Chains A and B, each alone.
Chain A
Amino acid sequence: MDFFDRFAVPHPSPAIYASMVAIGLTVVAIIAGLTYFKKWGYLWREWLTTVDHKRIGIMYLISALLMLFRGGVDAIMMRAQLAVPENGLLDAQHYNEVFTTHGLVMIIFMAMPFVIAFMNFVVPLQIGARDVAFPRLNALSFWLFFMGAMLLNISFVIGGSPDSGWTSYFPLAGNEFSESVGTNYYMFALQISGLGTMITGINFITTILKMRAPGMTLMKMPMFTWSTLVTNVIIVFAFPVLTVALLMGTMDRLFATNFFTTANGGMDMLWANLFWVWGHPEVYILILPAFGIYSEVISTFARRNLYGYKSMVGSMVIISLLSFLVWTHHFFTMGQGALTNSIFSITTMAIAVPTGVKIFNWLFTLWKGKIEFTVPMLYSIGFIPIFTIGGVTGVMLGMSAADYQYHNTMFLVAHFHMVILPGVVFAMLAGLTYYWPKMFGFKLNERIGKWAFWFISINTLVTFMPMFISGLDGQARRMYTYSESTGFGIWNMISFIGAIGLAIGFALIVYNVYYSIRYSPRNIGSDPWDARSLEWATHSPVPEYNFAQVPHVNSSEAFWDSKKNGHVLYKGELEKIHMPNNSGMPFIMACIFFLWGFAFIFAMWTTVIITTIGIFACLAHRSFEQDHGRYISVREIEETEKKLRGA
């Protein structure tokens, strides 16, 4: 039984045993359900092997929502533990694992796929393309991300979760202080999903540079496409740093190298440095697409073209460069002198300038607009004041001298939640509501959506405002309990109440999806919001080939021009359309990657060797495969178009 001992959880608790049972039952239920309803073939043909950017986008979306739920449960557990002083709900070890996985799941496995879901679904439609440049690679990206996420998610029932924070600083994350396999999970889950993200980056840069509709010059691209382009450039330049840092950390843990150790010439601070060289651009990878979505939503519902198009683009390009110049502000207190800290303080504050330009552009777009307060618009407007609170406290943290007071307190935690919630989560919910009709052919209910918006935005404030106060009073982050005499109790209790309110808000969104599937009208046409860019020029739901004819473009709002100014989008006759074939290889390869990572985590070397050979076999298979895609005939297109127009 020695072999199986390694899979035991080092710090078991009833909650973990209950989760094991729950996971087991869910897996059985899914397998039984698929078999009973005879859906295996459907699942394989339509989803597991698909290379269609729209379906991949929807799969990203579903994964992101599942992970939002999982990370949300972690958050509720933490808030419940801290709600009263000397609470015994979670022990220290369990609390460490919960805050680590909360951070990882929310950033890497919720926010990233949410953002990439919209990139996948929207960008090819916005530029009038049939798919991304490399559809097969796109499927591989998704499955690698998905397997990375699953790898992290099984950690708490097999072998123990990572417990050294989402930043996983060495030497704490080294073998000496983190003996369980938890940090190995961290290394491989991030490595595998990071590989997927890197491939996405290359894929989308190529797509946007090479596959735009005729007439769409770079400066006539819709703003979301611009933000995607800039984001993917950042991905391509930032992720290699994470890859290398993770590799060095893995080597330290599995092969006894000394990159980040405190002895033998190792440099533990180098991990923190490399982590944030990736980590700060990562923040902008999340927020720029969110800004793109706000730009689309605000100009649609203010019924005006976006104010200051060129300055929007310019500020994003400047943000992308500056985002690589500020990383040291994440560890001002860790030993640099005043000169170094001042330099990074200044670059940090400089980023506020292009960000401010964007905020003012949105405000000027609203100015004299005919504003319509739909759910996506509410999120976009609610974003501005809440984000400003987060931004202003960010400038406070950015002053290196003052940072010695705020560093590693709940003040910091409040700041980054006040930025990420309105900056990313609100944008994703706005995007979800806005693009839902394009994805599924019906709108989400507006009334329930507004209730959800008010619950989420008010409770964001209720949850995180008290943390500013308790943080200034000295409550450190990642403390699993505190004594009554500290006086933190009341603030944490308010915070807990807010967290429950947030949970209700998200539950309302889930209910809204259910309600709308049942009752929402289906006859809303292809342009329910009276929108402006090309993705609304095709049918909803979108046919496989996106556009029957390639649209012609001469402004950044070609669809609006075609509706109001007599611009002709489609010229010429229908022609047969060349489409890529589906393939099971990306899924199979990602499954092998999953086993590969798992084998590494538990140091099972035979399996490592076999799966490595398997990965190379997949690569070789692709190299020698003959696959020229297929054509959709004109007759088929005509039939589809007729059916969609009739509906």
Chain B
Amino acid sequence: MKELFPAKQVMGFVFSMILTVTALSVYFLEMSFTVGITILLVTAFIQAGLQLVVFMHAGETKDKGAIYTNVYYGLIIALATVFGTLLTMIWGYQIP
């Protein structure tokens, strides 16, 4: 019975639903911009990771190494670009 019931996928689905509802709550509940955007960012990243691992089978073949290297590399580049841009265009920008 255990082999037939896809527990991992069902749990993944439930969890992804919870994440969606949490994100949606930002629209319906009263909260400050900072809190709202933090909730959105955190749930979005967890959601993306969940989809990759549970539903897109990132770790299930012998290409595991290549796939994860790619994901981490992309993550590093994305974070560097976003924070670098913030640094250059907003935090460190001196001409009004």
Contacts and interface: CB of A to CB of B under 8 A. Distances in A.
B88 interface: yes
A340 B88 contact: yes
Given A209-B66, A273-B85, A336 B92 contact: yes
A325 B80 contact: yes
Interface in A220-277: 233, 237, 241, 267, 269-270, 273-274, 277
A212 to B, nearest CB: 12
B81 A340 contact: no
Nearest to B63: A209
A328 interface: yes
A324 B92 contact: no
A339 B92 CA distance: 7
B92 A241 contact: no
A343 B83 CA distance: 13
Contact of A328 (B84, B91, B95): B84
B55 to A, nearest CB: 21
B89 A269 contact: yes
A73 B12 CA distance: 61
Nearest to B91: A340
Contacts of A344: 88
Interface in A328-346: 328, 335-337, 339-341, 343-344
A156 interface: no
Interface residues of A, number: 23
B73 A335 contact: no
A237 B74 contact: yes
A328 B84 CA distance: 9
A337 B80 contact: no
Given A335-B93, A335-B95, A277 B85 contact: yes
Contacts of A343: 87
B76 interface: yes
B89 A233 contact: no
A327 interface: yes
B94 interface: yes
Contacts of B29: none
A343 B84 CA distance: 10
Interface string B58-96: 000001001000000110110011001101110111110
A321 interface: yes
A273 B89 contact: yes
B66 A270 contact: no
Interface residues of B, number: 18
A283 to B, nearest CB: 16
B71 to A, nearest CB: 12
Contact of B93 (A237, A241, A274, A337): A337
Given A209-B66, A233-B73, A277 B81 contact: yes
B93 A336 contact: yes
Given A237-B74, A270-B89, A325 B84 contact: yes
B81 A336 contact: no
Contacts of B92: 336-337, 339-341
Interface string A331-363: 000011101110110000000000000000000
B89 to A, nearest CB: 6
A335 B84 contact: no
A273 B90 CA distance: 12
B66 A328 contact: no
Contacts of A241: 81
A233 B70 CA distance: 9
Interface string B32-55: 000000000000000000000000
Nearest to A274: B85
B89 A267 contact: yes
Contact of A237 (B73, B85, B95): B73
Contacts of A335: 93-95
A270 B84 CA distance: 12
Nearest to A267: B89
A340 B87 contact: yes
A456 B87 CA distance: 42
Between A269, A274, A335, A343, the greatest number of chain B beta carbons within 10 A of the residue's beta carbon is seen for A335
B81 to A, nearest CB: 6
Nearest to A238: B77
A90 to B, nearest CB: 34
Contacts of B89: 267, 269-270, 273
Contacts of B94: 335-337
Contacts of B63: 209
A336 B81 CA distance: 16
Contacts of A339: 92
B75 to A, nearest CB: 11
A336 B76 contact: no
Contacts of B85: 273-274, 277
Contacts of A321: 73, 76
Contacts of A233: 73
Contacts of B74: 237
Nearest to B96: A335
Interface of B: 63, 66, 73-74, 76-77, 80-81, 84-85, 87-89, 91-95
Given A273-B89, A274-B85, A328-B84, 14 more contacts: A237-B77, A241-B81, A267-B89, A273-B85, A277-B81, A321-B73, A321-B76, A325-B84, A335-B93, A336-B93, A337-B92, A340-B93, A341-B92, A343-B87
Closest 8 A/B residue pairs (Cβ): A340-B92, A335-B95, A337-B94, A336-B92, A337-B92, A237-B77, A328-B88, A324-B77
26 contacts: A209-B66, A237-B73, A237-B74, A267-B89, A269-B89, A269-B93, A270-B89, A273-B85, A273-B88, A273-B89, A277-B84, A321-B73, A321-B76, A324-B80, A324-B81, A325-B80, A327-B84, A328-B84, A335-B95, A336-B92, A336-B94, A337-B92, A337-B93, A340-B88, A340-B93, A344-B88
